[in-house]
Structure 1
Amino acid sequence: MQLTGAEIVIECLKEQGVDTVFGYPGGAILNVYDELYKHSNEIRHILTSHEQGAAHAADGYARATGRVGVCFATSGPGATNLVTGIATAYMDSIPIVAITCNVGVSLLGKDSFQEIDIAGITMPITKHNYIVKDVTKLADTIRKAFVIAKKGRPGPVLIDIPKDITSTVTEYEPAVIEPVMPSEEVCEEDIQTALEMIRQSKKPYVFVGGGAILSGAHKELYEFIKKVDAPVTDSLMGKGAFPGTDELYTGMIGMHGTKTADYGVDECDLLIVAGARFSDRVTGNVKEFAKHAKILQFDVDAAEMNKNVLITEGVIGDLKVTLKRINELLEQQDHSEWKEKIMAYKEKYPLVYPSEGLTGPFVVEEIYRQTKGEAIIVTEVGQHQMWAAQYYKYTKPRTLLTSGGLGTMGYGLGAALGAKTGMPDKTVVNIAGDGCFRMNMNEIATAVRSNIPVIQVVINNHVLGMVRQWQDLFYGKRYSQTVLNDAVDFVKLAEAMGAEGVRVTTREEFQEAFARALTLGKPIVIDCQIDKDEKVWPMVAPGAPIREAFDEADM
């Protein structure tokens, strides 16, 4: 059949099972939006307040559902506004497809109005990107983009389409899309080496990263850990892959991890790394990281082997496939004495916070209590993000959505809109600091316009909390540009945008406000006033070994 490029875009999205697109129209992409209008009963479009919000929403949709998120933007500034969201997805290996339109082919490279080389700009932050100058190649390009986004280690793909290509007619052949399946390939010799290392270990520790969630390996991981009979820690991105309520779970590792996890990894004789990339926030001083242990790494990406930390052995392959194979061959292990030592650490070094007053940790624990641990928690970046990681017990994958690698302030609200759109039956809560919230708070208008009932909790200490914490500890209390004592009223702002707004200053007020939010059925902003000097504990100083984790009592 003969279709225009714009019609091909929509037909290809329908082929891929896309039900939602997040975006913002403009001149160059008008033909695509005109065609989208005709298919509004098949593909829902969420008009965000800013293109960055669209990219974050596509990311949140992908993280929550496990499907590919899709966003649209026009040429020039519309396309460049996607960049931070694309980079966020790239750093955390999230599958999104960003479709931008550009000026016509004859105008490319001439500094035309709203022209930008978005393919060149995004080359370092995408798995692959395309500029389609031939309409006959458009359908195949879109199909390839979805495969690339999902296959192996996931990630973002960008497709840039000149405007005249969207109006050019060509022959289109529908295709049946086969699901992208993980590769079953894994080296048998490497599996045997891994088994032997596990059997010889007396003090194993399992470190779980985001790859365990991306591969859907949580069931295989649980069986593996129980067979190895080892304590477990996770990275920020790995939360929910292994239940945070399990007795073997020891909390997060790294700069704001628990002392139990940091000490345990420092003392183990075998560190088994499942889908993690050894971020600097995890390792601290790389030369001192797990220096008493052999390191066994499971990862789908060969480039991660020996990239940040020198490992002993590695198994390259899809984590679900790798663990399934090992589980078939591994005998039940017993490390009772080692576990007793780690459990003693858990008892000796619990996470604690003040017993009175409204605090960040209390807010997070109360959210956990009222949602019974069944919500999707989204965060921005900073102190509140760490409290959300420490005090909410994640028992299922895809229930903590947060910018781990890039650390994107302003990520959470857009991502929460995407998550709630993709998982409408789940309670979705975005936990933000006041500094992060003001970056993309305009997306509250999107939530109201599209009737997306997210719960926005603002941990408001009137400062840039995490930066101030560093200034307090390492910069002689010189609070350069981190005090936000302005006249912004988040309650009035929420109401001006059509949402509910409430300010709370006590534990009881928050309990009441959040209980109401759960039954409200519309967007709400809860402004939680906390002390500006509240800190995240424990902490490891930048560049220090993780065994030197300290807290307020140590100071």
Structure 2
Amino acid sequence: MINQPTGAQLVISTLRALGVDILFGYPGGAIMPIYDALAGSGLTHILVRHEQGASFAADAYARATGKVGVCMATSGPGATNLITGIANAYMDSVPMVCITGQVGTHLLGTDGFQEVDILGLTLPIVKHSWLVRDPAEIPAILSRAFQIAQEGRPGPVLVDIPKDVAAAFVKDVPTTGEFPSWQPPQPDVADIKAAEKLIEQSKKPLFYIGGGVEMAFAVPQLRALMDRTGIPVVSTLKGLGAIPTTDDLFLGMLGMHGTRAANIAVQDADLLIVLGARFDDRATGKLSAFAPHAKVIHVDIDAAEINKLRMAQVGILGDLKMVLDGLHPKMQDISLWVAKCKSDKKKHAFRYDAPGTGIYAPALLKLLSEKAGDKFVACCDVGQHQMWVAQHCQFLQNRAHLTSGGSGAMGYGLPAGVGAKLALPDHHVVTVSGDGSFMMNIQEMATLRRYGIPLKIVLLDNSSLGLVRQWQRLFYEENYSEIDLSDNPDFVTVAQAFGLDAFRITSRDEVDGALDRLLAADKPTLLHILIDPRENVWPLVPPGASNAEMMEERWDEPLDSY
């Protein structure tokens, strides 16, 4: 058996051949042969403290780099702990390969120790999956998994490897083989011409961009098309950063917590040019009342998205780079429309002069992003702070706003910060979290300490599940059910126990200096910020309403210091 590699060794050598330099995981019984082969391989493995952390870290690494993220876990609970992260990557179209250990093939179907049908459990949330039965097939399967994860609409792929398959020797080492190179569908020339005609006829055109622009590496093409046409832009949550948020033509995020200028523009537009977006309910509000005067051009790599929720006058299936490069409409004068959009943007700009001495989170987050500049990367959890980041932070580069969009998974921010900071060591990577979300993967502070990852953490603490509390106040007759987190631990003490630097601020006059201290830190550091628990996210489109019916509320009382 000299020079006969095991299946596990083929896993590691194939990952290296595919250009993998870092992976995230947690060992266990069924995947032990692979971890045995990992030692001394030259691959960087990040030992997280919970498998969900591995999948979230791999997800953020992929978002930040455009490469495939890789995570590993053992069978049973190890594999099931990956599921939330796999679903998150599937919803947000993130390329990821998840390798799981499995019980030996002779135990499959016997309810053996730590046996779970992870292939069956994940079928709805992966692009493809394998249960490997022949170790000689490992190089070809992994190579194909990486290809599938990246091609077309990206997403996660699962490779489940039984323990005996990983441990078996392979007599004849196969080559990975040559798979046909996937080619995106060529956009139909007639569709391009039809789209150009609609743009030329339009008096109030509007770009509506989603995360597909970034995933298609089409940001330069989009910015060039904006320069050619002068058409204003609104963005989904995932589309933030494709256009600098400081651009005059950028009106902000649309939808439930979008800017008033963005939602007004959508409702007034006579043409929506939808690029890599899917008419998500959080973006559209009441779908039948969404953009009521607009014709639609919809460009996507996924044929299933075109005409799924809103019929398009022109649907273009194809690679966004090619489509955007091909659009050269002869614009009519839209200066009045552009002037109105800019006027609305100025008229409805957010205010930051909250009364009182308490810390106003939107103002703090705006200042944080301005101080960090074009090196700012936000790894955001889910809740009120997520919406404040989307509304108020300045994003000057694409792949700088990483958050759980479609799934809305609390607990994403801290492990995502691990993955993003390792991907972008020279950037100001900041995890922005709330006290509810932070507790869900708080253990990953140990990962930061172990590897000396100098992640910055901004923890906004209102001692409640703020977004749920806000809805209970507005739509459930102030029946505040199970949202009280006033028994939170002392987060500064907890962070220090994990070996992080940590400090707290409670009043507005401390903000400027605290942000400077945080951004200057060269080790993992947590800034704990106490904010008024009564503060809400505004504006808000109520459930069942159109985006034209935004609720807004000015300050009733001064924000208190704590």
Normalised-by-shorter TM-score class: over 0.9
1:309 shift after superposition: 2.0
Cα deviations across residues 152-180 of structure 1 (Å, max 9, x unaligned)? Answer: 10000010000000011122245598997
1:359 shift after superposition: 1.6
Structure 2 length as normaliser, TM-score? 0.95
Cα deviations across residues 32-84 of structure 1 (Å, max 9, x unaligned)? Answer: 00111121xx2100000100000000001000011000001000000000000
1:518 shift after superposition: 2.0
Q: Does 1:104 align with 2:77?
A: no
Amino acid at match of 1:26: G
In structure 2, the partner of 1:330 is 329
In structure 2, the partner of 1:436 is 437
Change (3 A) 1:46 1:553: same
In structure 2, the partner of 1:157 is 157
Can you give the 5+ residue segments of structure 2 that lack an aligned partner in the other structure? 557-562
Native 8 Å contact 1:16 1:177 kept in 2: no
1:370 shift after superposition: 1.5
Partner SS state of residue 169, structure 1:
coil
In structure 2, the partner of 1:14 is 16
Tell me how far apart the structure 2 counterparts of residues 165 and 333 of structure 1 sit (CA, whole Å).
Answer: 64
Tell me how far apart the structure 2 counterparts of residues 144 and 487 of structure 1 sit (CA, whole Å).
Answer: 46
Tell me how far apart the structure 1 counterparts of residues 181 and 95 of structure 2 sit (CA, whole Å).
Answer: 12
Tell me how far apart the structure 1 counterparts of residues 333 and 497 of structure 2 sit (CA, whole Å).
Answer: 60
In structure 1, the partner of 2:354 is 355
In structure 2, the partner of 1:113 is 113
Native 8 Å contact 2:211 2:239 kept in 1: yes
Native 8 Å contact 2:275 2:299 kept in 1: yes
Native 8 Å contact 2:135 2:168 kept in 1: yes
Native 8 Å contact 1:54 1:414 kept in 2: yes
Tell me how far apart the structure 2 counterparts of residues 333 and 222 of structure 1 sit (CA, whole Å).
Answer: 19
Tell me how far apart the structure 2 counterparts of residues 207 and 485 of structure 1 sit (CA, whole Å).
Answer: 40
1:223 shift after superposition: 1.4
Tell me how far apart the structure 1 counterparts of residues 484 and 239 of structure 2 sit (CA, whole Å).
Answer: 32
Q: Does 1:535 align with 2:540?
A: no
Change (3 A) 1:116 1:175: closer
Can you give the 5+ residue segments of structure 1 that lack an aligned partner in the other structure? none
In structure 1, the partner of 2:396 is 395
In structure 2, the partner of 1:317 is 318
Cα deviations across residues 365-397 of structure 1 (Å, max 9, x unaligned)? Answer: 121122024211110001100110111121211
Tell me how far apart the structure 2 counterparts of residues 428 and 182 of structure 1 sit (CA, whole Å).
Answer: 34
Native 8 Å contact 1:184 1:321 kept in 2: no
Amino acid at match of 2:336: E
In structure 2, the partner of 1:240 is 241
Change (3 A) 1:123 1:184: closer
Tell me how far apart the structure 2 counterparts of residues 437 and 18 of structure 1 sit (CA, whole Å).
Answer: 29
In structure 2, the partner of 1:23 is 25
Native 8 Å contact 1:378 1:415 kept in 2: yes
Q: Which moved more, 1:495-504 or 1:1-10?
A: 1-10
Tell me how far apart the structure 2 counterparts of residues 413 and 181 of structure 1 sit (CA, whole Å).
Answer: 35
Partner SS state of residue 216, structure 1:
coil
Tell me how far apart the structure 2 counterparts of residues 380 and 164 of structure 1 sit (CA, whole Å).
Answer: 39
In structure 2, the partner of 1:340 is 339
Amino acid at match of 2:354: S
Matches within 5 A, 1:259-278: 259-278=260-279
Matches within 5 A, 1:126-145: 126-145=126-145
Tell me how far apart the structure 2 counterparts of residues 263 and 177 of structure 1 sit (CA, whole Å).
Answer: 51
Partner SS state of residue 247, structure 1:
coil
In structure 1, the partner of 2:7 is 5
Tell me how far apart the structure 2 counterparts of residues 316 and 506 of structure 1 sit (CA, whole Å).
Answer: 52
Tell me how far apart the structure 2 counterparts of residues 13 and 508 of structure 1 sit (CA, whole Å).
Answer: 50
Tell me how far apart the structure 1 counterparts of residues 435 and 180 of structure 2 sit (CA, whole Å).
Answer: 42
Cα deviations across residues 405-429 of structure 1 (Å, max 9, x unaligned)? Answer: 0000001111110011111111110
Q: Does 1:125 align with 2:101?
A: no
Q: How many residues align?
A: 551
Partner SS state of residue 238, structure 2:
helix
* RMSD value, Cα: 1.6
Partner SS state of residue 347, structure 1:
helix
Q: Which moved more, 1:78-87 or 1:485-494?
A: 485-494
Amino acid at match of 1:135: P
